[in-house]
Structure 1
């Protein structure tokens, strides 16, 4: 009887059969860790962040390396990168679309930038100083001292605006003066950090000063076109949602195409697609009804499916076991101290100077110190573009987890529930919304 040759396997089908198990494992881990985070009073996203780290070489790869290699083979990792990039672009789009910079109380428009500046400058300066000292120890050979130091300072100056908003909303403080100031200041912090990252990306990727200036100039032109031209063209979408209360299918296609096209444009320019997604969000209609409908339609899929993929992709690049030896441990402690003290005490002192009591000041300092998802996006871009080493990446992931985990406990320590209830007023709508 003649031998029957086995039918060739479609390589696309073979890849799909490897990607699906990886996604299932990621979602199960994110769901379990997210639930555990909620049970101990932490935001779900903190559990999802930790799940990503645990799926990497730190735990899964160390305890069961053969299984980890089968779940996340080399050919699956690029697929996870693509999915996470789509997810980050859409997530930052939703964050940008959720911002409302209108001032609702007298003096708020002046106070919020001062609070934001107090959160950015101390962390940026301390991070820059630590980065300058650690250059050569943690830096790549092709990255200069000032570029490296600016990257460390920029990463430490971030505040997790969406996480801060979620905490305030859960506690009913979004309408308080403290809540509004914190939300608006955090949105300014994040916007400033993205601008710094755009400059650093252009600086690093440019083959010369002329190319860097060209990239920065094109990024500025892109932002101007989006905010001055595209935003006007999109206004009818907001008016349509106000009239009908919903995004129709045609409008939803436009809403999805705009951030993807913007992400492609900024990738082509050289400043990463996440920046394009964020600016596209800023260009969306500012109507409250539009923002609410956009959030309802898109955030569930983005945060439940795509963000856990990003956390897992970050975790695959995170080897916390590599932070060993006296030099690296001291380097991590220096980075952690600079990041924590710059943000916590800088914001607390600014709040006190603005006339708030010490309890309010330290409560805001704790909340503004949470870096959450934002620093992970920042450092993933740095790693992808070759600006930082895996050792520094792992340290900054640990900074993200620790500062995010400490935000709520520090807040509760400063403002116990009995005092917090006194700060829940009956006031107008908040000045900022998180996607």
Structure 2
């Protein structure tokens, strides 16, 4: 046990230092930190570190510490998804008809293209996926994988590019929230539908999942609201309560045959907010910080699974098809639907480009599919490369299109114009940023 603890401590030190250094380099290059952090994870895996003499990869990440690192990665995902669920706010949808149009198109068209390329090239996907069946579960999973937009990474890009508070930035952020809210339930259906066993067993598991969601929404949420509104309740007690809720809910969905992320996301959704409808920063901050600190472990685990040396030359053609479908689905859907809602062409293209950001959320979906056995290592590697390419392309494409001039104008879609510009929340590890890209004042 002493030897295992020594290896875990050393591995954590290397992983966290390498990931944050690579993230800082990526930010200097105008890229989201997640791009550099994932590259660091791949570099620490067999694709680079494993090629060096001396067995450095095996010595740094021996097999006996893999379960411990995987468990830490899952805890990081639980905290991260809880924060995402707690911050999920679709309030902008009621003010902007453009958001409804962009959301539906940005979700449906990429799903259709994802399913379409599988149905057009079933032999190619079966070969790259290790002979796994190209069935309805796989087709629906690929559709979801191409429909994802990474809300936290997108918020960081909007802040860094000075798009906070602009119409394209606001519409893209609200639409991305709706798209992800639609994608998670579909992914849950994929996992439940892909479970082995009889139809009766599948129906029982689906019924238990529906019952669990109902209990969380209509029983747990009111009880939490009463507890948090007690006069004697102290704010310091809310963080342990939130952590307990997130972990317990993650355990429940995992016991139902789903991934822990679904329970964590649902726990964040049912957690009561402040009376004004905003998340409690005293509760959210510690969970975001803890998740952000441990997420490099998830990147290391993801990078270890990516074996670029195992790819074949023929896989590059399929990678090009996947990337083309992913980019066209998001950019075309966002641009055409925004233009149909009477947005200017440049703003419409900018919305489509922003929706093409996949980042960390895509990696979570891929990790879920890999662990569930829906996809194999080769296809997983291709989809990780697709996530990197689409995320890294967002910044340069924004600069190519140019930043919209001026502050948000009165809505063209009939929604009420307001002088209040919404805050952009940037997810775990990043501070909320006021509209206009201005940094918050330093703490005293």
Question: Structure 2 length as normaliser, TM-score?
Answer: 0.87
TM-superposed CA distance for 1:342, in Å, is 0.6
Distance 1:289 1:125, change over 3 A: closer
1:47 paired residue number: 36
**Residues in 2 aligned to 1:131 and 1:363: alpha-carbon distance in whole angstroms:** 28
5 Å-filtered alignment, 1:30-179, equals 30-64=19-53, 66-103=55-92, 106=95, 108=96, 110-132=97-119, 133=121, 134-171=124-161, 173-179=163-169
What is the aligned counterpart of 1:314 among 302, 310, 314? 302
RMSD: 2.3
5 Å-filtered alignment, 1:127-276, equals 127-132=114-119, 133=121, 134-171=124-161, 173-236=163-226, 239=229, 247-248=235-236, 250-276=237-263
Structure 2 gaps, min length 5: 411-417, 428-444
Does the 8 Å contact 1:100/1:433 carry over to 2?
no
Distance 1:208 1:105, change over 3 A: closer
**Residues in 1 aligned to 2:227 and 2:130: alpha-carbon distance in whole angstroms:** 46
TM-superposed CA distance for 1:340, in Å, is 1.0
Distance 1:173 1:34, change over 3 A: same
**Residues in 2 aligned to 1:58 and 1:374: alpha-carbon distance in whole angstroms:** 23
**Residues in 2 aligned to 1:296 and 1:19: alpha-carbon distance in whole angstroms:** 26
TM-superposed CA distance for 1:140, in Å, is 4.5
TM-superposed CA distance for 1:233, in Å, is 1.7
**Residues in 2 aligned to 1:147 and 1:395: alpha-carbon distance in whole angstroms:** 19
Cα deviation code 1:258-309 (max 9, x no counterpart): 01000000000111110110011111123255432233222122112x1100
Q: Secondary structure at the match of 2:280?
A: helix
Which segment is superposed worse, 140-149 or 382-391?
140-149
Q: Secondary structure at the match of 1:159?
A: coil
TM-superposed CA distance for 1:224, in Å, is 2.0
**Residues in 1 aligned to 2:344 and 2:23: alpha-carbon distance in whole angstroms:** 34
Q: Secondary structure at the match of 2:38?
A: helix
TM-superposed CA distance for 1:18, in Å, is 1.1
Does the 8 Å contact 2:104/2:179 carry over to 1?
yes
**Residues in 2 aligned to 1:239 and 1:412: alpha-carbon distance in whole angstroms:** 47
Does the 8 Å contact 2:126/2:133 carry over to 1?
no
**Residues in 1 aligned to 2:54 and 2:288: alpha-carbon distance in whole angstroms:** 34
Cα deviation code 1:143-167 (max 9, x no counterpart): 3422222211110110001111222
Cα deviation code 1:62-108 (max 9, x no counterpart): 234601110011111111111111111110010000111223764x2
**Residues in 2 aligned to 1:119 and 1:45: alpha-carbon distance in whole angstroms:** 22
1:7 paired residue number: none
Does the 8 Å contact 1:99/1:434 carry over to 2?
no
Does the 8 Å contact 1:364/1:411 carry over to 2?
no
Does the 8 Å contact 2:273/2:279 carry over to 1?
yes
Question: Structure 1 length as normaliser, TM-score?
Answer: 0.89
Cα deviation code 1:330-365 (max 9, x no counterpart): 111111111111111111111111111111111111
What is the aligned counterpart of 2:281 among 277, 283, 292? 292
Which segment is superposed worse, 291-300 or 195-204?
291-300
TM-superposed CA distance for 1:211, in Å, is 2.1
> Number of aligned pairs?
415
